[in-house]
Amino acid sequence: MDKPLFTNDAIVLGILLSVLAFVFTTAKSEKLFWKKFYTFVPTLLLCYFIPSLLNTFGIINGDSSKLYFVASRYLLPSSLVLLTISIDLPEIKKLGSKAIIMFLAGSVGIIIGGPLSVLLISFIFPEIIGGTGPDAVWRGLTTVAGSWIGGGANQAAMKEVFNVGDTIFSSMIAVDVIIANIWMAFLLYGAGISEKIDNWLQADSSSITQVKEKIEEYHTKIIKVPDLTDTIQLVAVCFGVTGIAHLGSDIISPFILEKAPELSRFSLTSGFFWIIVISTTIALVLSFTKVRDLEGVGASRIGSVFLYILITTIGMKMNIMAIFDKPGLFIIGFIWMLIHVSIMILVAKLIKAPFFFLAVGSQANIGGAASAPIVASAFHPSLAPVGVLLAVLGYALGTYGAWVCGILLELSSNSLMY
């Protein structure tokens, strides 16, 4: 490969941050062109594919840059910490059992939907399932599971944990974003006819009003203008926990590798796996302390900045032409989503849950904190925080759920080989 135009990582980082600034600035523009453009093109997709274009045309090169390593080892666990400490489990519990049940039903639908879709496709289009090493299809699908249960951070975690190749990952990003946004369009349409759907589900939506009032009160209480001390405390927490996670990983991973090397098939000898698990677990514990109040000074916002920097570094390692190499992967994604949706509808019908909980519970899984509030606010603007709370729960469970799904995907794929 020819030498890229820019090889200095300081320059490359400046370019990537400029890309993010361009995407987010235009996404908020009131100009008609940009409004129409972002109606069809998801912001997240651009954050992946603009750096990919820069890589394709030799402006930068992800393989020769060390930015991805830094972002994945330091910014990713820090991002997970900041996105997870804001979770308020007692408040989520107040939303009622139906909200949690619908969210978990969505997670289960994704965990079992992946392996089931692989098995189904193997009977119809067996040529779609295959690949070896890092570019095996089942490995790529683990990143979709990470995204659909949690979010971009969990997706990136699965890429590392299951050693997913950049080529198959490029294809999976397209499957993830396009299938997810098609489903989101259906949810937004459903919000407009939610009363009819609730009647069909025989659901009582009066609890939604109570939820709205509780959430408004909670967010009014914690939001404040951060000062320098607040910001330093926030940064100290996220990088401090990341440091502890690295320390634990350096101890646990070699120990398991020495004492039980056969556990490598479950990723338990992966140092990166333990970095992610330890940082997420500590953050969950901290969410029961006053550290959770850091959300009021922008914990999830800064966590999202770290996450989007990581996304651009992943993008500059991608081969955008890989999207056209495996169009059959979209069939897997469609069946997978269909299984998820079917389980959501079945559970909603059984427990008579309002469509609001179905829509937000599903989007909190599939879209995460970026789009769950959008779906929630389609019902009422003040309900957007409900989407945030459930999406943050997805961040907390995403690593665990996607890992389980990944193991099932590996088992189902291996069973097809014998």
- Please write the tens of the pLDDT for every residue from 220-241: 788 888 999 999 999 999 999 9
State how far Cα 383 lies from the chain centre: 21
Residue 130 pLDDT grade (very low, low, confident, very high; cuts 50, 70, 90): low
pLDDT digits (tens, 9 = 90+) for 270-289: 788 888 889 888 988 998 89
Least confident of 71-85, 231-245, 305-319, 376-390: 376-390
Q: Is the pLDDT of residue 416 over 80?
A: no
CA-closest candidate to residue 26, choices 15, 13, 39: 39
In whole angstroms, what is the distance from residue 52 CA to residue 170 CA? 9
Amino acid in position 277: V
∠ CA 251-286-274 to the nearest 5 degrees?
25
| Burial 67-95, CB ≥16 within 10 A → b, else e | bbebbbbbbbbbbbbbbbbbbbbebbeeb
- For a pLDDT cut of 70, what percent of the chain falls above it? 89
pLDDT of residue 173: 82
Q: Is the pLDDT of residue 198 over 70?
A: yes
For 92, list phi and psi in degrees, rounded to 5.
Answer: -60, -40
